Amino acid sequence: MERELSLYEKRVDALLQLLPRTDGQARETFLRTQRALKTAPDDAAYFDRWIEALAEALTADGVLAAEDLAERQAAVRARLERWEMEE
Amino acid sequence: MTVEARFKPGDAVVVDTRDHDGHCRTPTYLRGRQGRVREVLGAYKNPEALAYYRDAEALPLYDVVFGWKEVWGEDGIDEIAADIYENWLKPA
Amino acid sequence: MPHDGHAHDDHAPIEDIGEVSQYEVLEQAIRELLVERGVLSAEAIQQQIDDMDSRTPVAGSKIVARAWTDAAYKERLLNDPKAALAEMGVTKLDENPEVKVVENTPDRHNVIVCTLCSCYPRVVLGMPPAWYKKRAYRSRVVKEPRQVLAEFGTELPDTVKIEVHDSTADLRYLVLPMRPEGADDWPAEKLADLVTRDVMIGVKVPKVA
């Protein structure tokens, strides 16, 4: 019996299902990423590859600013680390 | 189906060999291959246009069956069936 | 125990950030930004997750079992799959790609793939398995289907034609396998247990243990 997907994996999957149903640049970026991933090696985890490719494509296409994404990642990490800091 | 279908079941068709930069749903391994239309599936929006515009014209879509030797050049009874849009098919 | 204001022993174990991957952090950041920019809503994302959680191969197995025991239903399933699926409670059929059912016969065995990406009859089976999405399966099953099936434990006589369906467009395919030997008088509920997800993809055939 295979393991159930983690919440992270389900969330990435949800992005992949919903992005093509939106209007605008994010949708085009998704389709472009899908085409690019077709020929990419797939030894790494499926959802990890997708989220990484999406990050690159969304910033390349200007849907998200690279600085905003980097800043938000740092903020997410900081929120996760807060528990360790509160000793 | 309001769109007129160019091919009918039984027709021998060949998949086009053109290159396509954009969103394409015709697999490379079937390009230039001859198959047989098994079923006219209906009219569906052209994915190549849909990739760029939210609305696109509807194109007839066909269930096309390809023989093993035709696709791979090897003997075999197995077959491949794919759903191909009319704009990628020519009469054989 | 000395009370120093930090009663560690009273706390539940604290999650180590080392267990949260860079990809999870990235996903969180992307999702938050996309929601803030109005590209997607948090509700729609959660609803999509809940929807996929609610769809499992059990729905497909009941549909197959009914087709095995109800000839009129089987005809409807093959000729008007949308209506037949709706009869068995499959929801949101209008919002999802159409499903087409392909029947196995003594002469023909069907197996499904999407060489271009990972199209799959999610509306009836739920999430595709990881192997279905990998290049190894997608490229090999169109080129060497018998070897791929053998690796799944499925041996077919040389006289049975394998038909590989490449889901290249808007249709999603579901295999209707043949009813196995040794299950002649079984009720639908018992037959459904024989119908696994892999049987409806076509890499396996149902067997009575």
Q: Distance from B34 to chain C by nearest Cα, in Å?
A: 16
Domain boundary among C32, C52, C72: C52
Could you tell me if A77 lies within 8 Å of chain C, comparing CB atoms? yes
pLDDT for residue C10 is more than 90 = no
**Does C68 share its domain with C164?**
yes
Q: What percent of chain C has pLDDT over 70?
A: 91
Q: How many residues comprise chain A?
A: 87
User: CB of A48 within 8 A of CB of B68?
Assistant: no
Residue of C nearest to B81 (CA): C165
Supply the range of the domain harboring residue C47.
Answer: 20-52
* Domain count along chain C: 2
**Does C162 share its domain with C89?**
yes
Interface contact C33-A18, CB threshold 8 A: no
Give the lowest-confidence range in B15-29, C44-58, C60-74, C99-113: B15-29
Backbone angles phi, psi at C113, to 5 degrees: -150, 165
- For the annotated catalytic residues of C, the residue numbers are 114, 117-119
- The two tokens of residue C129 are 């398995």
Residue of C nearest to B23 (CA): C116
Per-domain residue ranges for chain A?
7-85
pLDDT for residue B22 is more than 90 = no
Domain boundary among C52, C74, C99: C52
**Does C173 share its domain with C103?**
yes
Q: Is C5 among the domain residues?
A: no
* Alpha-carbon gap, residue B49 to A19, rounded angstroms: 17
CATH tag for B12-91 (out of 2.30.30.50, 1.20.810.10, 3.40.50.300, 3.30.70.141): 2.30.30.50
**Does C144 share its domain with C192?**
yes
pTM: 0.91
**B51: chain A residues, CB-CB within 8 Å:** 28, 31
Interface contact A69-C135, CB threshold 8 A: no
Nearest to A50 by CA among A6, A22, A77, A13: A13
Burial letters for B61-76: b for 16+ Cβ neighbours within 10 Å, e otherwise?
bbbbbbbbebbbeeee
**B60: chain C residues, CB-CB within 8 Å:** none
**Does C61 share its domain with C47?**
no
Q: What mean pLDDT do residues C83-89 have?
A: 98
User: CB of C68 within 8 A of CB of C205?
Assistant: no
pLDDT for residue C14 is more than 90 = no
* Unique residue bearing structure tokens 């499903």: C99
Q: How much is the pLDDT for B61?
A: 95
Q: Could you say which of A24, A26, A76 has the minimum Cβ distance to residue C28? A: A76
* Model pLDDT for residues A29-81, shown as the tens digit of each residue: 998 999 889 888 888 899 999 999 999 999 999 999 999 999 999 999 999 88
Cβ neighbours of residue B82 under 8 Å, at least 6 residues apart? B27, B30, B35, B63, B64, B66, C165, C166, C168
Q: What mean pLDDT do residues C181-189 have?
A: 94
Contact partners for chain A, using 3 or more CB pairs closer than 8 A, are: B, C
What are the C-alpha distances in Å from A43 to residues A6, C44, C87?
Answer: 19, 30, 41
Q: Distance from C94 to chain A by nearest Cα, in Å?
A: 14
**Does C27 share its domain with C128?**
no
